């Protein structure tokens, strides 16, 4: 397969964008999957079960991943999809109407931007961006090219969570003064893995993309890339960004805070991980706050409720007249000084990812980005809060934030972490 130059890609992208078709009500939307490892496999299963779309492209830098995905796709009775190692070739294909991105975090923004410039609509996994600067560029590009960009924050399409947030807005616990996100997800040590030759069939240059060139190691490749600053954002930006998004939602869609502070560390383990496994942060909104906590080690209960074996991933809302607990199993509302259980609702047995993707596909037809429950502007800000917390953690101090300029106040060191030095040609 021939390598695309930047110039030839954007020439092709311009042609593709100009030829973007208007879909009729009965047309199947052609989907291209980018990144078909763990989460990408879930994308494949979800889209394969939706009749109004058809998977037409499979893209991954790992040949073995492409082959596994092809086998799974055809096992559903679907036709074979075209395979790509380089996403730019997929984006130049006029049979692809929309792309679904499940790459490592450091690729989310550039893949989204390239796809929008090529005339594709985009479903991109959380966190929307790898850093704050990228989120702004993604919003700008989506608007400029009139593309639908949905972020994979599927809680926004989950019925019981929609009802819980509506109750908060109606005042079920009075004035909400604190939203707390809990990411108590047990993470075992990743150990240490040495540098080794790049496995056959893997394009390591494409995998690293915007990140610095590093020797190949197993820990930097499969899943554990989450725990390296080059490619991931720790668990606050992995699992935690879902709960951060719910915090913002429950506080009335608050955006940027006036200040942030984050402390913690990587405790107990001596391994390759760079990001913290224990983290506590607070965002000031003047009269109310978001508090977020990551616990990757064994932990006790929270809010008087026991920690579930292995993981407790939830949100806790505190108000003047009571409190609410929300997680994947449902929600509970406690009212009054005696904390009486006033409302309890169990989650429905629905596939929230599929519902979220159907919401995206509906917007692809209507061309109204406001119909999407987790449109890029929503996802970019939620990811941005995770990035602010990580920056405070890395520089080791409370930071004041200018919400208009999206810069820190009088702190050039912290400002540098709002973006990154991009490795050419993978520049946002």
CATH 3.30.360.10 fits 156-352+383-416, yes or no: yes
Q: DSSP for 169-228?
A: HHTTTSSEEEEEEEEEE-----------PPPTTB-HHHHHTTSPP----STTTSSGGGGS
The domains of the chain are located at 6-154, 156-352+383-416
pLDDT at 24 over 80: no
Q: CA 41, 46, 49, 55: dihedral to nearest 10 degrees?
A: -60
C-alpha closest to that of 290 among 240, 339, 230, 248: 248
347-371 pLDDT, tens digit each: 988 788 999 999 999 999 999 999 9
pLDDT at 25 over 90: no
Q: CA 138 → CA 116, 222, 310, 335, distances in Å?
A: 9, 26, 35, 41
| Cis before 249 (ω within 30) | no
Asked if 55 and 73 count as a contact pair (C-beta separation under 8 A), the reply is yes
Burial of 378 (0-12, 13-18, 19+ CB in 10 A): buried
C-alpha closest to that of 151 among 387, 382, 374: 374
C-alpha closest to that of 327 among 351, 344, 340, 341: 344
Q: DSSP for 99-160?
A: EEE-S-GGGHHHHHHHHHHTT-EEEEPSSS-SSHHHHHHHHHHHHHTT--EEES-GGGG-HH
44-74 pLDDT, tens digit each: 999 999 999 999 999 999 999 999 999 999 9
Supply the pTM of this predicted model: 0.94
Residue 303 has what pLDDT? 75
Provide CB contacts within 8 A for 261, sequence distance 6+. Answer: 281, 282, 392, 397, 398, 399
Q: CA 359, 362, 364, 366: dihedral to nearest 10 degrees?
A: -130
What's the chain's length in residues? 428
105-124 pLDDT, tens digit each: 999 999 999 999 999 999 99
Strand order of the β-sheet with 53-59 is 82-84, 53-59, 29-34, 98-101, 121-124, 149-151
Q: CA 30, 53, 116, 84: dihedral to nearest 10 degrees?
A: -50
Task: Report the Cα–Cα distance between both ends of the chain, in Å, rounded.
Answer: 25
What kind of fold does domain 6-154 have according to CATH? Rossmann fold (3.40.50)
119-177 pLDDT, tens digit each: 999 999 999 999 999 999 999 999 999 999 999 999 999 999 999 999 999 999 999 99
- Lowest average pLDDT, out of 5-19, 147-161, 199-213, 310-324, goes to 5-19
pLDDT at 6 over 60: no
Asked if 388 and 292 count as a contact pair (C-beta separation under 8 A), the reply is no
């Amino acid at each position: 397969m021939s390598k695309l130059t930047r110039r030839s890609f954007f020439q092709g992208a311009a042609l593709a964008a100009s030829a973007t078709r208007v879909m009729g009500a009965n047309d199947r939307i052609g989907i291209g999957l980018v990144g078909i490892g763990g989460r990408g496999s879930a994308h494949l299963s979800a889209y394969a079960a939706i009749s109004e779309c058809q998977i037409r492209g499979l893209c991954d830098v790992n040949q073995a991943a492409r082959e596994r995905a092809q086998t799974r796709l055809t096992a559903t009775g679907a036709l074979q999809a075209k395979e790509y190692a380089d996403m730019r070739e997929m984006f130049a294909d006029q049979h692809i109407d929309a792309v679904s991105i499940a790459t490592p975090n450091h690729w989310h923004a550039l893949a989204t931007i390239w796809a929008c410039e090529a005339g594709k609509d985009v479903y991109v996994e959380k966190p929307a961006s790898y850093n704050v600067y990228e989120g702004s560029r993604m919003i700008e590009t989506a608007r400029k090219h009139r593309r639908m960009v949905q972020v994979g924050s599927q809680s926004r399409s989950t019925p019981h969570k929609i009802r819980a947030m509506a109750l908060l807005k109606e005042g079920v616990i009075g004035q909400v003064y604190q939203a707390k996100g809990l990411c108590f997800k047990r993470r075992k040590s990743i150990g240490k893995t040495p540098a080794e030759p790049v496995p056959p069939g893997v394009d390591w240059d494409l995998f690293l993309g915007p990140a610095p060139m590093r020797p190949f190691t197993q820990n930097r490749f499969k899943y554990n890339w989450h725990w390296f600053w080059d490619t991931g954002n720790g668990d606050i930006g992995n699992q935690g960004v879902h709960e951060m998004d719910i915090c913002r939602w429950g506080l009335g869609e608050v955006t940027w805070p006036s200040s942030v502070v984050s402390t913690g560390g990587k405790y107990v383990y001596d391994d390759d991980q760079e990001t913290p496994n224990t983290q506590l942060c607070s965002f000031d909104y003047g009269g109310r706050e978001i508090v977020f906590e990551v616990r990757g080690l064994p932990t006790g209960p929270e809010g008087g409720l026991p920690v579930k074996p292995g993981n407790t991933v939830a949100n806790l809302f505190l108000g003047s007249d009571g409190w609410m607990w929300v997680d994947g199993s449902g929600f509970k509302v406690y009212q009054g000084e005696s904390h009486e259980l006033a409302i309890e609702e169990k989650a429905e047995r629905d596939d929230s990812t599929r519902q979220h993707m159907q919401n995206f596909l509906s917007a692809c037809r209507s061309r109204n980005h406001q119909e999407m429950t987790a449109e890029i502007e929503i996802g970019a800000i939620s990811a941005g809060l995770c990035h602010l917390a990580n920056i405070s953690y890395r520089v080791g101090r409370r930071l004041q934030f200018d919400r208009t300029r999206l810069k820190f106040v009088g702190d050039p060191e912290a400002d540098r972490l709002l973006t990154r030095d991009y490795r050419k040609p993978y520049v946002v």
